[in-house]
Amino acid sequence: MRSLSFILLFLVWGVCGVQGATVFRICAFNIQSFGEGKASKTKVMHTIVRIIARCDVSLLQEVRDHRRKAFPQLLAQLNNRNGNLPAFLHEIWLYNKALVMLCLHRSFQMQVTTVVFAHFVSKQSLVNRDVCFSVFLPLTACSALKDFVLIPLHTSPNNTTKELDAVVDVFNDIRKKWKTENVIFLGDFNADCGYLAKKNRKNVRLITDPAFIWLINDKNDTTVRKSTDCAYDRIVVHGEKVARAIVPLSAKPFNFKKEFRLSEDQLPPCSSLGLNWHRNHLWFFSLFLFSHFICQM
């Protein structure tokens, strides 16, 4: 049984100097088959809202809300909880007919300039699936990054090595077409333990190419069960401006099971609906960036 996974990026935002800057947060949240079932559970929704409300941009993976009834409830509760803070807007990204990825972002922080859908076939014909990504523009003249591309990843557990390697082909196509080096990959990479054997890592260009910087290393346990210790969820960045913006050693896990004082017995109601996978994610990661600053399933 697999649980929620949550990845967070913090960025310094909004002024032409460090003094007075605000923290900007980007999250990737594997919400585990979110739909009307979860939306009907008060305690589950309360936990999900508490998690997402911490962020300025949230990418929600594994949404199963075919009738579009659960997500409006989530959006309403988020905006109600945030009081005087700017409202959340959203984009809906559809994959593989059954699964949806949602992008929430606060109205004052940034503009989503482009949402791109493409059917991607890798050169090695190892990945043949729909891919989407977004191009973002910060809404501030003082931005260190004038634009960036956000690419959440969710690899197949049965094909992790090949898919992670083929992500570089996706990146090269995006870089060529959109003329940008500023890319952030984040999400459920399945990048550890039985899904990505150490002996296979030499075959993954996303790992062997030093231009791609892995901010979450193998020592970070991104699971919550005592029986597991694996770094499945990752953040990878590309681009000199992004790399220079990173505060050294700032990427670290935050266990919201502990933060919210949830027992292991309390986790299944938040995560047991949907796919019966055997691992459990319940972390988010912090990456502090000095800057004014899809998805593949």
Homologous superfamily of 5-296: Endonuclease/exonuclease/phosphatase (3.60.10.10)
pLDDT of residue 121: 42
Judged against a pLDDT cut of 70, whether residue 55 lies above it is answered with yes
Q: The tokens of 31 are what?
A: 């919400």
pLDDT of residue 110: 53
25 dihedral zone (left: phi>0; alpha: psi -120 to 50; beta): beta
Q: Which residue has the tokens 């990878």?
A: 236
What span, in angstroms and rounded, lies between the C-alpha atoms of 208 and 217?
14
pLDDT of residue 95: 55
Judged against a pLDDT cut of 60, whether residue 282 lies above it is answered with no
- Render pLDDT for 212-262 as a digit per residue (tens, 0 to 9): 999 888 888 877 677 778 888 888 889 987 777 665 666 666 666 777 777
What percent of the chain is modeled with pLDDT above 70? 55
Domain layout of the chain by residue ranges: 5-296
The model carries a pTM of 0.75
Residue type, 72: P
What span, in angstroms and rounded, lies between the C-alpha atoms of 214 and 216?
6
